[in-house]
Amino acid sequence: MSDLSSAPKQFQWKWVGISLLMYIVFYFFPLTLVPGGMLSGTVVTKASAVFIGVWSFAGMIIISAVAGYISKGVTIKEPAVAALGLVILSLVAVQIKFNTAMQFTTLSILGLVIALAVVAGLSLTGAWFGEILQKVIQSKGPEPE
């Protein structure tokens, strides 16, 4: 078994795409389709408000951890890049949904930068956890029968 830390770490655009698809299906759609979500057309309930609040943070960590775990080799930066892409796609979706033109003010740019930093931090943390879990499970090897 080769040591992952000694292998060259090349950025894998394939995992950016896979991670972005995972974020769209398992993160963006659930957040927007629950009652009160942007695409639901219904009023928010207490349960959906809790779900939106929890999944906004936990979902980013969990999905990036899954991406880091299922990828071969070290895949930490790729889910973070995909998460940043998701923020940009979400911003565009909001603009389309509400048929508004993007007006950038100092406050809106600051909010976007903070959102990008938080999302990047959460996804890097999740991908790191996924890689650690992958390494631990690989080091154990298959269980004896």
CA distance 68 to 133: 9
Reduced to 3 states (helix: H, G, I; strand: E, B; else coil), residue 17 is: helix
CA distance 21 to 54: 21
Q: Contact, 104 vs 41, CB < 8 A?
A: no
CA distance 117 to 112: 9
pLDDT at residue number 132: 95
What is the residue-level pLDDT of the chain in tens, covering all 145 positions?
Answer: 444 454 557 899 999 999 999 999 999 999 999 998 888 889 999 999 999 999 999 999 999 999 999 998 888 999 999 999 999 998 888 888 777 766 777 777 888 899 999 999 999 999 999 999 999 988 886 666 6
Domain edges within the chain = 13-140
